[in-house]
Structure 1
Amino acid sequence: MGEITTGSVTANGLDFGYLAAGPADAPLVLLLHGFPDSAHTWRHLLPELATAGFRAVAPFMRGYAPTSVPEDGAYQTGALAADAVALHEALGGGPDAVVIGHDWGAFAAYGAASLAPGRWRRAVAMSVPPISLVTGRFFEYEQLKRSFYMYVFQTPVAEAVLGRAFVEGLWRDWSPPGAGGHAEDVDHVMECLAAPDNVTAALGYYRAMFDASRHSDRYAAEQRAVSSRGDVPVLYLHGSEDGCVGADVVAPGGDLGGVLAALPAGSRAELVPGAGHFLQLDRPANVNDHILGWLN
Structure 2
Amino acid sequence: MNEIAMIEANGLEFGYLSAGPDSGPLALLLHGFPDTPHSWRHVAKELGAAGYRVVAPYMRGYAPTSVAPDGVYRAGALAADANALHEAFGGGADAVLVGHDWGAPAVYGAIAAEPGRWRRAVAMSMPPTAALRAGSLSYEQLKRSFYIYLFQTPVAESVLNADFIAGLWRDWSPGHDEDLRPVFDALRAPENVAAALGYYRSMLNPPARRPGRPAAQPLTASTVPVLYLHGAADGCLSFDAVDPALTNHLPPGSRHALIAEAGHFLQVDQPAAVNAEILDWFTAG
For the aligned pair, the TM-score class normalised by the smaller chain equals over 0.9
Decide which moves more: 85-94 or 21-30: 21-30
| Partner deviation per Cα, 1:95-121 (whole Å, 9 max, x = no partner) | 000010000000000110111000000
| Partner deviation per Cα, 1:63-119 (whole Å, 9 max, x = no partner) | 000000111000010000000000000000000000100000000001101110000
Equivalent residue runs for 1:189-204 within 5 Å: 189-204=183-198
Structure 2 letter corresponding to 1:186: L
What secondary structure sits across from 1:43 in the alignment?
A: helix
In structure 2, distance between residues paired with 1:51 and 1:247: 31
In structure 1, distance between residues paired with 2:181 and 2:218: 31
Contact 2:220 2:251 (C-alpha < 8 Å) held by counterparts: no
Q: CA deviation at 1:25?
A: 1.6
Q: CA deviation at 1:229?
A: 4.9
Structure 1 letter corresponding to 2:25: P
Q: CA distance change for structure 1 residues 102 and 206 in 2, over 3 Å: closer, same or farther?
A: same
In structure 1, distance between residues paired with 2:189 and 2:115: 36
Structure 1 stretches of 4+ with a deviation exceeding 4 A read 226-229
**Residue 69 of structure 1 corresponds to which residue in structure 2?**
67
Unaligned runs of 5+ in 2: none
Aligned residue among 270, 280, 283 for 1:293:
280
Aligned residue among 39, 44, 48 for 1:41:
39
The answer as to 2:230 corresponding to 1:238 is yes
**Residue 182 of structure 2 corresponds to which residue in structure 1?**
188
**Residue 103 of structure 1 corresponds to which residue in structure 2?**
101
Q: CA deviation at 1:37?
A: 0.4
Contact 1:110 1:226 (C-alpha < 8 Å) held by counterparts: no
- Cα RMSD after superposing both structures: 1.6
The answer as to 2:238 corresponding to 1:267 is no
Aligned residue among 190, 196, 210 for 1:217:
210
The answer as to 2:73 corresponding to 1:86 is no
Contact 1:234 1:264 (C-alpha < 8 Å) held by counterparts: yes
In structure 1, distance between residues paired with 2:144 and 2:204: 17
Unaligned runs of 5+ in 1: none
- TM-score by length of structure 1 reads 0.92
**Residue 206 of structure 1 corresponds to which residue in structure 2?**
200
Structure 1 letter corresponding to 2:154: P
In structure 1, distance between residues paired with 2:233 and 2:31: 19
Q: CA deviation at 1:264?
A: 1.0
Equivalent residue runs for 1:156-167 within 5 Å: 156-167=154-165
In structure 1, distance between residues paired with 2:78 and 2:218: 9
The answer as to 2:18 corresponding to 1:20 is yes
Structure 2 letter corresponding to 1:113: I
- TM-score by length of structure 2 reads 0.95
What secondary structure sits across from 1:34 in the alignment?
A: coil
In structure 2, distance between residues paired with 1:225 and 1:194: 35
In structure 2, distance between residues paired with 1:278 and 1:219: 38
Structure 2 letter corresponding to 1:184: E
| Partner deviation per Cα, 1:111-135 (whole Å, 9 max, x = no partner) | 1011100000000000001121235
Q: CA distance change for structure 1 residues 40 and 228 in 2, over 3 Å: closer, same or farther?
A: same
